Structure 1
């Protein structure tokens, strides 16, 4: 069951984007510090890594570097705590590759009580040298969601084909069948490598099957059940596993436990690779650069916009995005900006909003939990654009209906008083200013005249008839 709530990304999206920028600026000065931990692992220690929430690029980066540090510091064992609804296939495979290549044993542990290792978490648990679960946990539902709808639901089975003649060429399997077959073969190979139940592993992929901790132990999906980490260490003491093709005995009696937490790099990567945050960064970046072009010299909008734009493009580079969706979002923004300068009577504005909404829907190609753009963000942005577009259109229409109050056109039709006049020219007073004027010779000082034209700094005037 997918418990991910897309509204979380919407509520925290704006603040997370600002936090990402601040964290980037602050930590860029600090330089590379490596994974932060509760203390440097001592020799022959047990290192604990924790995977919580959706599995993405930040998770794989954290696990890979954590395993590397544990190996470099001579740790005897790594405990990988799992509580995840799944995640991206690419990130899952990177974590599994790191586990298979690790020179030390890795024990996967689904904990604490109530935790689960669904979808990608099941694959990772199968890849670990030792698989353990806490009471009250579950695993399974490993169907690739991109081929079969919502997380935890089996992919639709293809309709049965009618009997064909021997001359008919065999039809190729569709994309869903290929993806399911690939995922099933992958988890089967992991099960065979670790000597676990391969039949149920395939069932978890094909039929989205799930198991409780006790059932998983009964049929050989996991190796043991432990109440907590201390109980797990006691249960692992004396167990022999195969690491890099060689038998290795785990001795945990005198080992100390050290937890490696995600450092600033992993936290920063986790923030910007949230699709909602990446979309907000893209919007802020584009508009910041546009404001800088419209008002050169402000500097601030240009700097912030450039940083946000680079961060968004970096996030899109490592996320499974559709560049067609990104192009539609940029096109929508361009059309909305053009609406303010081109009299299209709303066509460009409506087209821009439509392009933005479609692009945001198509932005992420994978349906993995936690890696979709929230519809609340899409709808909220579209409504904001529509309101902005409507406000600008109203202001433009009002501005066009207002009379001219400045410039050459404003002088035409105004009334002036003759100050001095001789031979068809002289001086008149208009709005408290003296102007040179030309007009009928019959004009005299004190008469009122109407401005009929402007030639440089000279007014053309005519006498106002008594009826006027």
Structure 2
């Protein structure tokens, strides 16, 4: 039955996946898109795997539907380097001109958003917006920080800026000495600087400011960015931007494209189920919870084989959690500590360690959760309250299971040969027959005769079953007896005192 249920669940899951794969997102289900439309792809929040997937598929759809312009409406504090580079590759390979429009008012394009703006064919900002602060965030734990705003890292052979007064720690403000930089940080800075310089040269934008945005983490307002040729336009809204770029020609991977966007129809794309699903599971908090559910589900399944549901839910959750983590910048030492901590907590339920494994598991889990996400980017850390809540739940869960196991061990045996000793039964014969008066002599009966014991044998009902019994005391039908031993298929009984019995339990006359 369990196997049948598991097969049904698997078939339903496959049918659901097949049905979902055949359904196009709601925003893509339009019967037809007018050729020459302008596609708007709104992006808000940190740049991550879900955002990259949404933008890449949006640009691909703009090319398939022969749009003449794709606009990324951007508002981001930054994001992951791998996701940013995936987006930039899609922009550079797009046969449709791509405009990055930092909007609405109050929006920003910091860090990764600055690179995406520089990579786009058209860069525009709404009034009251800003961009910049493109320094790479230092990865790992215990490393040095990236340059702060106003600090210029010294290049090889350079000295700190002259005229700077000494800071409280003895270092010159406005400069980050080369000797104080780790090799990893220098590599990140030089790589990021070369990357944005190449994008600036490709699009003919301000190269010097791009380098400063990386080296000094500087930012610009919309009007300053336009004055310094960092962006091409300031537009109140998307229709205003479309009017300003109307009639201009831009080079794309498919050749030169002349825009005629003044009165072009606008198609706004929205994240579909796939993008929303990726956004949910790639949240580090959700990924950590999925790992826990997966571990505990498999633990229950292995402890109770054939229960099916914990195993199915645990396997799915564990695979989803691992899929999410491979899209994120994960510290594998932290991930190993999380698994080790969960293993210790589970082992605490079965081994008499008196809390040693449980305490060690808590410490390993907390340290692993703190180290799990290998970046300081906003929106990608696991907050301490979340870690504390998970630890408390795990401790209560494991020690609750341990308590149930201990209580189960203290319960008396209710099945098997041990359980029948001490049980009370009812004699079924009108009178037990002396062993010497019957031919049904067992080895135990002959042993009793050799020792001179006047043993009698007969039948009694014990645990609802008909048993052959022997006793040294005369008993009548209906008498209660207590089992004192078992020899093969014969029970040794002694009188337990008369107890009221139903009439149907008696055998014989009356």
Pick the TM interval, shorter chain: 0.7 to 0.9
Change over 3 Å in CA distance of 1:387–1:173 after alignment to 2: closer
Query: Match for residue 170 of structure 2?
Result: none
Query: Match for residue 259 of structure 2?
Result: 250
- Deviation per residue, 1:58-98 (Å, 9 max, x gap): 21122122112212222111111101111110010011111
The CA distance in 2 between the partners of 1:201 and 1:157, in whole Å, is: 13
**Cα RMSD between the aligned structures?**
4.0
Shift of 1:101: 1.4
The CA distance in 2 between the partners of 1:298 and 1:64, in whole Å, is: 42
Query: Match for residue 87 of structure 1?
Result: 79
Shift of 1:112: 0.8
Query: Match for residue 288 of structure 1?
Result: 297
* Structure 1, 230-239 or 406-415: larger mean CA deviation: 406-415
Say whether the 8 Å CA contact 2:147–2:216 is kept in structure 1: no
Give 1:109-188 correspondences, 5 Å limit: 109-147=101-139, 153=148, 174-188=183-197
Shift of 1:229: 0.7
- Give 2:274's match in structure 1, choosing from 255, 265, 271: 265
- Deviation per residue, 1:95-118 (Å, 9 max, x gap): 111111112211110111121111
Query: Match for residue 199 of structure 1?
Result: 208
- Deviation per residue, 1:171-201 (Å, 9 max, x gap): 9961011111111111121112212222222
The CA distance in 1 between the partners of 2:150 and 2:364, in whole Å, is: 30
Change over 3 Å in CA distance of 1:355–1:150 after alignment to 2: same
Say whether the 8 Å CA contact 1:56–1:88 is kept in structure 2: yes
Task: For residue 79 of structure 1, give the secondary structure of its aligned residue in structure 2.
Answer: strand
The CA distance in 1 between the partners of 2:194 and 2:260, in whole Å, is: 33
Say whether the 8 Å CA contact 1:35–1:261 is kept in structure 2: no
Change over 3 Å in CA distance of 1:346–1:432 after alignment to 2: same
The CA distance in 2 between the partners of 1:257 and 1:454, in whole Å, is: 89
Change over 3 Å in CA distance of 1:216–1:155 after alignment to 2: closer
Query: Match for residue 167 of structure 1?
Result: none
Query: Match for residue 55 of structure 2?
Result: 63
Please say if 1:189 is aligned against 2:198: yes
* Structure 1, 58-67 or 288-297: larger mean CA deviation: 288-297
The CA distance in 2 between the partners of 1:431 and 1:345, in whole Å, is: 41
* Structure 1, 366-375 or 118-127: larger mean CA deviation: 366-375
* Structure 1, 394-403 or 445-454: larger mean CA deviation: 445-454
Query: Match for residue 446 of structure 2?
Result: none
Shift of 1:143: 1.7
Please say if 1:275 is aligned against 2:284: yes
Q: Which has the higher contact order (CA 8 A, sep 6+)?
A: 1
Task: For residue 296 of structure 1, give the secondary structure of its aligned residue in structure 2.
Answer: coil
Shift of 1:239: 3.0
- Give 2:240's match in structure 1, choosing from 231, 234, 238: 231
Say whether the 8 Å CA contact 2:144–2:182 is kept in structure 1: no
Say whether the 8 Å CA contact 1:361–1:373 is kept in structure 2: yes
- Deviation per residue, 1:204-253 (Å, 9 max, x gap): 22222222212222222111111111111112123343334955432212
- Give 2:100's match in structure 1, choosing from 94, 108, 111: 108
Shift of 1:134: 0.7
Say whether the 8 Å CA contact 1:115–1:137 is kept in structure 2: yes
Task: Give the TM-score normalised by structure 1.
Answer: 0.78
Say whether the 8 Å CA contact 1:105–1:129 is kept in structure 2: yes
Shift of 1:298: 3.2
The CA distance in 1 between the partners of 2:278 and 2:131, in whole Å, is: 27
Task: For residue 103 of structure 1, give the secondary structure of its aligned residue in structure 2.
Answer: coil
Shift of 1:399: 5.2
Task: For residue 379 of structure 1, give the secondary structure of its aligned residue in structure 2.
Answer: helix
Say whether the 8 Å CA contact 1:41–1:70 is kept in structure 2: no
Bigger Rg, structure 1 or 2: 2
Q: How many residues align?
A: 434
The CA distance in 2 between the partners of 1:362 and 1:130, in whole Å, is: 39
The CA distance in 1 between the partners of 2:319 and 2:190, in whole Å, is: 38
Task: For residue 138 of structure 2, give the secondary structure of its aligned residue in structure 1.
Answer: helix
The CA distance in 1 between the partners of 2:317 and 2:15, in whole Å, is: 12
Task: For residue 231 of structure 2, give the secondary structure of its aligned residue in structure 1.
Answer: coil
Shift of 1:353: 2.5
* Structure 1, 267-276 or 366-375: larger mean CA deviation: 366-375
Give 1:35-54 correspondences, 5 Å limit: 36-37=26-27, 39=30, 40-54=32-46
The CA distance in 1 between the partners of 2:286 and 2:157, in whole Å, is: 48
Task: Give the TM-score normalised by structure 2.
Answer: 0.72
Say whether the 8 Å CA contact 1:151–1:368 is kept in structure 2: no
Q: Which runs of 5+ in 2 are unaligned?
A: 1-11, 159-178, 435-452, 497-510
